[in-house]
Amino acid sequence: RCRPKKEAGLMRKRGILALALTLAMLWCGAAPAYAAAAENDCHLSYGYFQKYGDYLYYDYDMCLYRMNLDGSRKTKILNENVAGDSEQFVIENDVVYYVDSESGALCRIGLNGTGKQKLTTQKVGSLSVYDHCVYYVVGVLDGPLYFYDPVTGTNERFAPISGDVSFYRIAGDTIFYSQTPFIESNSPSDWWINADSELESMKMDGTDRRDYGYIRSREYGFLVQDGMLYTVCSQDHTLSACNLDTLESADLANGVYQIFGIAGGSVFASGTGDAMFRVSLANGTKYLAPAMKYSCPNFRIYGPYIYASQTNLGGGFDLSVNTVDGISRFDLNGNLVGRLTASIQNGEPYDG
């Protein structure tokens, strides 16, 4: 199972009891020490919309819009295609950081439309914000991890990680990442060659390094929340939970291929069917979420609702047509509350 190698022999006898107690604490609202050590002030660019302040900002018809969280009062903010083909932008301190659709460089522009600036000469990806700095990977697939400091106006390499990374995620004061190379292929049938990757972590100061073994589905193969690490094992598609304080680990469910978020005491996941399902953290029971289609890479939880856009992968894996459902709002059980925006196909409004 996916667990830190340095503690490989300690876990199984007391692991189930300790994990059950931890999950019960989470269910009742208590957070373990690992979660309390640092606030998770990181936000990531995982799609074409995100919450900033009291609004949901989203890229639509090659412009940046905002709306209330209930979908009302849609307002155009910028005549700038901040998401583009990369679907990557973040907002920090009233500034939009995004990947330029033509050059692939990291750019910035104020929410008021001023101060547009190119920040890198290289192509970048995987944007996120941590401690008010913008982190990014140099390159299209794999590359070194850098960060832009808006105070000094400089770009610096994240020194604790030597070599290239294929993905990363910052949670609290810990960075989770993989250095498994991404193999480029132009054939949709070759998706499987990049299905598995080795997951590692360290504190942001480079200490407490851990290796969790291989996980499924790369960045959709793990989640970190409330001091718990949830992983999908690459070999048998088992969803496991690991307490990051005690390093105790236990299995939750089988038949899991991707995991997208945690809400209402459940992990939202997909398997081989056309609909997503949620896995109870209390007992591992699966419940269908039929309102959510197969894949949901744009999955966010704001207050009592899930906001998501969904791909058309469940309809035959037609990767030649980039159809993305408009932003929808769901309750914490995955039931559809309402559609907030129309669908988009290849960057244009779509009526399907």
Mean pLDDT of 26-50: 48
Please state, in angstroms and as integers, the Cα–Cα distance from residue 176 to each residue in 229, 248, 251, 317, following that order: 10, 18, 20, 29
Q: Is pLDDT above 90 for 44?
A: no
The model's confidence at residue 239, banded by pLDDT at 50, 70 and 90, is very high
Mean pLDDT of 75-93: 84
Mean pLDDT of 194-202: 81
The model's confidence at residue 202, banded by pLDDT at 50, 70 and 90, is very high
**What is the residue-averaged pLDDT of the chain?**
79
- Cβ atoms of 175 and 133 closer than 8 Å: no
Backbone phi and psi for residue 188, each to the nearest 5 degrees, phi listed first: -60, -25
The model's confidence at residue 9, banded by pLDDT at 50, 70 and 90, is very low
Supply the pLDDT for residue 86: 65
Work out the angle at residue 90's Cα, subtended by the Cα atoms of residues 119 and 328, and round it to the nearest 5 degrees. Answer: 150
Please state, in angstroms and as integers, the Cα–Cα distance from residue 349 to each residue in 45, 146, 151, 324, 344, following that order: 21, 34, 38, 10, 4
The model's confidence at residue 172, banded by pLDDT at 50, 70 and 90, is confident
Q: Is pLDDT above 80 for 299?
A: yes
Mean pLDDT of 252-270: 91
Of 93, 150, 163, 155, give the one whose Cα is nearest residue 124. 155
The model's confidence at residue 187, banded by pLDDT at 50, 70 and 90, is low
Q: Which helix (H) or strand (E) holds 67?
A: strand 63-68
Strand pairing class (196-203; 174-178): antiparallel
The model's confidence at residue 305, banded by pLDDT at 50, 70 and 90, is very high
Report CA Rg, the chain.
20
Mean pLDDT of 60-67: 86
- Cβ atoms of 311 and 323 closer than 8 Å: yes
Whole-angstrom Cα distance, residue 105 to residue 117? 10
Query: What residues contact residue 41 under an 8 Å CB cut-off, 6+ apart?
Result: 129, 130, 131
Q: Is pLDDT above 50 for 326?
A: yes
The model's confidence at residue 315, banded by pLDDT at 50, 70 and 90, is very low
The model's confidence at residue 25, banded by pLDDT at 50, 70 and 90, is very low
Assign 220 to helix, strand or coil: helix
Supply the pLDDT for residue 95: 95
Supply the pLDDT for residue 268: 93
Supply the pLDDT for residue 11: 38
Backbone phi and psi for residue 315, each to the nearest 5 degrees, phi listed first: -100, 45
Query: Looking up tokens 């990181």, which residue turns up?
Result: 42
Supply the pLDDT for residue 83: 76
Mean pLDDT of 165-185: 85
User: Range with the lowest mean pLDDT among 23-37, 96-110, 257-271, 322-336?
Assistant: 23-37
Q: Which residue has the higher pLDDT, 40 or 346?
A: 346
Mean pLDDT of 100-122: 93
Query: Looking up tokens 């972590």, which residue turns up?
Result: 201
Supply the pLDDT for residue 84: 67
Sign of the C-alpha dihedral, residues 257, 261, 264, 265?
Answer: positive
Q: 153 pairs with which residues across the strands?
A: none
Q: Which residue has the higher pLDDT, 21 or 144?
A: 144
User: Range with the lowest mean pLDDT among 49-53, 77-81, 273-277?
Assistant: 273-277
